[in-house]
Chain A
Amino acid sequence: MNIAHVDELDRIEMPEGFQWRPVRRRFGIRAFGVNAYTTGAAGGQIVEEHTETQLEHEEIYLVLRGRVRFRIGEDEHELGQGQLVHISDPQLRRGAVALTDDAAVLAVGGKPGEPYEVSAWEAMFAAVPFAQQEQWDEAIAVHEEALRERPDHPALLYNLACMEARGGRHLDALLHLRRAIEVDSKYAAYARKDSDFAAIRSEPGFPAA
C-alpha cells in the first residue's frame, strides 16, 4: 500500500524556515499538486509567503495538526485541525506561521481548466539540501530529471546553471544560462547580480557580462 504518515515524509529544511514535506513526489502523483508543510518550532514560518500569480493555482491549505496563523492579503486567521483556507484569487498574497510546534498543513493546488503539470519549484526545493551540502552533482541531477519533462523551463535552466557554475561545470553552466535567457530575457538581469555565477562571470561567453 502506498501509505505514509506526514512525519515519515522527507523533511526539506527551507532557508525561509519552513519544512517542505513532499507528498506528490513521494507517491508519484501526476494529476494534482499536493504537499505538506511543518515547522521547526512554534513561531516559525510554515507556509511560505507567496502569490500564485505565475502558476495561477487555486489552492486549499488544510491544517492537519496543531494551530496555524494564516495571513491572506491583509487578513489574519488562526486555524486548527480540520480547518482550511481556500484561495481562488491567485494574486492574493498568502503565508502562514505555526502557533504550535507540532503544526502540519496539507496544501492542494492546480490551475482550473488545465491538466496538472508538475511545478518546477518542486525540483528546485528538492535540490536545496544538496546545494546546502555543496553536493553539486546531486543538485544538478535533480534539475536534469525535471528538465527531461520540461526541457525549456527557464527557471529550471537558470537554477541548473547556478548549480553547474558552483560545481565547476563552467561550460554547461554557460550553455544553460544562455538558454534560460533565450527563453525568458529577465534571467539576464538576475544573472548579473547572482553570486552563484561568480566563477564564470568573467568568461567570454557569459551572456550578461
Chain B
Amino acid sequence: MSEGYQVLSLDELEPIPHRGSNLLPLRHTLGYRAAGVNAWSADTGGQLIPPHEEDSGNEELYAVVRGRATFTVGDESAEAPAGTLVFVPPRVYRTASAEEPGTIVLAVGASVGQAFVSHGWDSYAIADAYRRTGRIDEGRAVLRTMLEALPRAWYVPYNAACWESLAGNADAALDHLRDAVELDAEETRGYMAQDADLDPIRDDPRFQELLA
C-alpha cells in the first residue's frame, strides 16, 4: 500500500469501554483531521451511543453500518436498520441501543464555522482502558501522542497527570501537573482542587505547592 492512504475494517478496531458503550476508536487510529469520526458497537440490548447532548456546538451524523439500532433523539425514538442515517443538531439529547448482535454505528461530528480540532477525549478513553487492564506502556504511548498533538492545551498534561496518579506513579503525575499549571494555572488549580483522580497524590507536599 502506498503512502497517503490506508484501508481499515471497523472489525479490526479494539472496542474500548467508554461510558457504558464500546467505542471503536476510528479517529485516533486513522489520525483523521477534518472531523470527529468514531464508531460504536454493541450486541442486542447493549448501549451503542452514550446518552448525551453535544454542548460544544457539534453537529453529528450517525450511520448504522451493520445490524439494527433504536435511536432516541429528544423525546422521539425510531428503529434504524443498517443503512440508516440520523442527524442530530447540537444541544439535543441522543442515545442509541443495539437490536441485533454485532451492531455498529458510525458517528461523524464537527462544529459549524470552526476548523476541527480533536481535544482527545477518544484518545484518553483508549489510554484509560489500557491503564485499567494493566497495559501501562501502551497507555502511556497514547498519552504521548496526545501531548505531542496538543502541546499548548493545559488539559492534556492535566489528564496525563490524572492517568499517572491513578496508575500509582506520583512523580510522573506531578511532572504533568506542573506542565498543566504552567500552561493555565487558574484552570488547572480549579480542577485539581476537587478531582478524585488526583486523590492518590493529594497529600504529597509537591501537590500542595502546585495548588498554592
Contact = CB atoms under 8 A, between A and B. Distances in A.
Contacts of A4: 84-85
Interface in A71-113: 72-75, 77, 79, 81-89, 91-92, 94, 104, 106, 108-113
B66 A34 contact: no
Chain B's interface: helix, strand, loop or mixed, by majority?
strand
A5 B81 contact: yes
A6 interface: yes
Contacts, number: 158
A112 B80 CA distance: 31
Interface stretch (B103-111, B128-136, B176-184, B186-194): B103-111
A29 to B, nearest CB: 6
A5 B35 CA distance: 22
A83 B8 contact: yes
Interface string B59-81: 10101011000010110101011
A27 B89 CA distance: 10
Contact of A83 (B9, B78, B109): B9
A133 interface: no
B85 A111 contact: no
B98 to A, nearest CB: 15
Contacts of A108: 34-35, 37, 108
Contacts of B114: 31, 115
Nearest to B1: A75
A23 interface: yes
B83 A3 contact: no
A57 B34 contact: yes
Contacts of B7: 70, 77, 79, 83-86
21 contacts: A3-B80, A3-B86, A4-B84, A23-B85, A31-B35, A31-B58, A32-B108, A36-B85, A64-B63, A65-B82, A70-B7, A73-B4, A79-B7, A82-B104, A83-B10, A86-B32, A106-B63, A108-B34, A110-B34, A115-B114, A116-B35
Given A5-B84, A110-B116, 15 more contacts: A3-B84, A4-B84, A29-B87, A58-B33, A75-B2, A82-B11, A83-B10, A84-B10, A89-B4, A108-B34, A110-B35, A112-B33, A113-B115, A116-B110, A116-B112
